Amino acid sequence: MRNHDLHMLRPGDAGYDDARRIHNGLIDKHPSLIARCRTSSDVAAAITQSRREGLEVAVRGGGHNVAGKAVTEGGLMIDLSPMKEIEVDSSACTARAQPGLTWDEFNIATAPHGLATTGGVVSTTGIAGLTLGGGFGWLQGKYGLAVDNLVGAEVVTADGDVLKASEAENADLFWALRGGGGNFGVVTSFTFQLHPVSTVLGGVAAFPLAAADAVIDVFRRVAKEAPDELGVQCGFVTGPDAATKLVALPLCHCGELDQAEADIRPVREIGTPLLDAIEPKSYIEQNRQVDASFPAGALNYWKSAFFTDLSDAAARVLIESFEQCPSPMTACVIESIGGAASRVASTAMAYAHREPGFNLLLLSQWAEPADTEPNIAWTRETFEALQPHMADRRYVNYLAADDGGHTRDAYGANYERLVELKQRYDPDNVFRLNQNIDPR
């Protein structure tokens, strides 16, 4: 295997610290080698070297995984961030994209063709990890999750083989990749289905926390009755003065403007918002609107699970907990799942959680290491208090470093088949630094 070109960084090398750092500043690990990959052959060479030297392998796409699985202490980090090529085929409405791209880079490449696909709502997030775990985004009601739009992939396996995966080729591997979260190989190319999307009606309306009961009522109603074009979330956040606690409805409508205004009327009728930033904008801008609230290097600790039911009682627990939240950077987000994302059979691919409903994400962020303990404690206590309202279903991409016991909840009904496929494609569990499907 050719590996003379492979650019390896070691501790002390220029660029080593930048390459090992990931989005979550709480993660501070030191790989013994960082392979800065540019091609599938580089990736294969890095895998072969890690196996020869007995080094743990970490795979880094956009580096946003909050559990910090993209980096290893003492092992070999396969850094895909130099792989940023993208080719748009506007007649087939597809894009073939490399795994180092962020969603912003992806959206910028497809926008001139008037095309887009479902991707992350924070534009700095990587296309790779997000897609392999499922991929929630603003277009999911109309076009499904990111993974529902994946039509093909190129994968470097644990043996260093470069395979194509699609419905037509290695279909079982393709099934596993779409939700199996990095367990089956290193994806070096993703082919996505694109859709005609350019201007959307989107943004956020924010109200005082005292209005939370009324806002949640409208949120539940809009989420359940909305047409596929309208995506809406409910967020508990702190205002720009770092003191005023708010309840906000971020939303995005990808249909005709007149229809979009009609569909969001219940939100407009809640009362006078403290902030109203809902207006027509490009899909690129829509996915940048909250970027500033998620700065690189902030300290992060997350907890997440799907609600059994977003009842008044559950909402009350969340509102009262958020009143005590110690960090103005923290957001509690309720995501609604419905439309096209919920019309796919739960066994159609590895991603299993297709029930319409709501997902909770306690997204704790703070800036000072001295504040770590109270913030983690608040997040755990709030999550614990919400337990009576939570299902045993979790989104793999939101699992925290200490959520190891919940891996099965992330893969749900598909876990047994995933174990069988893991035994076939990675029996030695080379790719174990992830929400791991243990082949034994």
Binding site for ligand FAD (CB under 6 A): 22-23, 59-66, 69-70, 80, 99, 120-122, 125-126, 128-130, 132-137, 181-182, 186-187, 294, 397, 434
Identity of the residue, 121 or 319, whose beta carbon is nearer to ligand FAD in the bound complex: 121
Exposure of 415 in the CB half-sphere (CA atoms within 13 A): 16
Q: How far is the CB of 203 from ligand FAD (least distance, A)?
A: 16
Task: Give whichever of 319 and 336 is closer to ligand FAD, judged by the CB atom.
Answer: 336
Contact present, 291 and 125 (Cβ < 8 Å):
no
Q: How far is the CB of 107 from ligand FAD (least distance, A)?
A: 13
**Rounded to an integer, what distance in angstroms lies between the CA atom of residue 134 and that of residue 128?**
10
Write down the least CB distance from residue 272 to ligand FAD, Å: 29
> Which is nearest to 47 in space by CA: 25, 76, 18?
76
Shortest Å distance, C-beta 146 to ligand FAD: 7
Q: Which residue is nearest to ligand FAD (CB)?
A: 129
Residue placing its CB nearer to ligand FAD in the complex, 163 or 270: 163
Extract the tokens encoding 273: 């918002």
Q: Which of residues 211 and 236 has its CB atom nearest to ligand FAD in the complex?
A: 236
| Residue with Cβ nearer ligand FAD (158 or 186) | 186
Distances (CA, A) of 213 to 20, 235, 326: 43, 13, 22
Q: How far apart are CA 203 and CA 287, in angstroms?
A: 9
User: Which C-beta is closer to ligand FAD: that of 319 or that of 334?
Assistant: 334
**Strand, helix or coil for residue 22:** coil
Q: Give the residue from 332, 327, 314 showing the smallest Cα distance to 233.
A: 332
For residue 135, the minimal CB distance to ligand FAD (Å) is 5
Q: Where are the alpha helices (DSSP H) in 156-232?
A: 171-177, 212-225
Q: Least distance (Å) from ligand FAD to the CB of residue 251?
A: 14
Minimal distance, residue 217 CB to ligand FAD, in Å = 25
- The Cα diameter of the chain in Å comes to 65
With DSSP H G I counted as helix, E B as strand and the rest as coil, what are the percentages for the chain, rounded to 5? 35, 25, 40
- Token code pair at residue 109: 């490449």
Closest CB to ligand FAD among residues 137, 338: 137
Q: Smallest Cα–Cα separation from 110: which of 129, 94, 91?
A: 94
CA distance 232 to 278: 12
